[in-house]
Amino acid sequence: MKRHFRNIILIGMAGAGKSTIGPLLAAQTGCTYVDTDQLIARDQGRPIQEVLDRLGPAGFSRLEDRILLSLQLRDHVIATGGSAVYCRAGMRHLQATGIVVLLEAELDTLRQRVNNPDSRGLVNPAGESFARLYRNRLPLYRHYADLTVATSGVGPEEVCREILAGLSRVFPHGQQWT
C-alpha cells in the first residue's frame, strides 16, 4: 500500500464542498473530522479572514504550511483551505498520510456558492479575479489529487458515495472505509 496512515484529505476551491462533505464523510467512515482553516483560526485566536488580513498572502501561506506540517493524524477526514496547494511541504506531508481527494466544481457553481470571496479568507496572492484564481489553482489541485470527484449539480450524499467508491478502487484488497 502506498500510504502509511488512513486519512482522507479534501482539497479544492472555496465553494467546492470541503466543509460540507467532510463531516458527512467522517460520519460515514468512522473517522474524525478536522478543518485546517479552523485550526489556523484557533491557532491565531481570530477568524480566518482576520488572520489573512493581518498576515497577508505570504504570511498566511507560511502559517498554513506550518499547520499542515504539524498534523500527525490517523483515521481523519481533513478538509484543507483552498490555498493549501500553495504549501508544497505541507501537501507532500498530507500525501504521505492519506489519500488526497479533489472536490472539483465548475466555475459557475463556485461563484454561486461563494457569495463574498472577500470575507472567506480566500488567499489570492496576485489579486486576481475569482475566475483567474480558479484557473491558476486547478493544475495544482490536480497535481496533488489521488482521486477527483465532481461536486457541481450533485448532492452531498452522492459526493460521499463517489468518494467511497473511488477509495474502493484505490484500495481494492480489503481496505474498508465504511
Asked, for residue 141, whether it belongs to a domain, the answer is: yes
What average pLDDT does range 127-147 have in this prediction? 92
Q: What is the CATH number of the domain that holds 80?
A: 3.40.50.300
Confidence of residue 21 (pLDDT cuts 50, 70, 90): very high
pLDDT in tens, 66-98: 999 999 999 999 999 999 999 999 999 999 999
Domain span at residue 162 reads: 7-170
Sheet holding 32-35, edge to edge: 32-35, 76-79, 7-11, 98-104, 147-150
Asked, for residue 176, whether it belongs to a domain, the answer is: no
- Number of independent structural domains in the chain: 1
Asked, for residue 175, whether it belongs to a domain, the answer is: no
pTM above 0.85, yes or no: yes
Asked, for residue 1, whether it belongs to a domain, the answer is: no
pLDDT of residue 121: 60
**H, E, C per residue of 120-164:** CCCCCCCCCCHHHHHHHHHHHHHHHCCEEEECCCCCHHHHHHHHH
Asked, for residue 38, whether it belongs to a domain, the answer is: yes
Asked, for residue 127, whether it belongs to a domain, the answer is: yes
pLDDT of residue 169: 81
Asked, for residue 12, whether it belongs to a domain, the answer is: yes
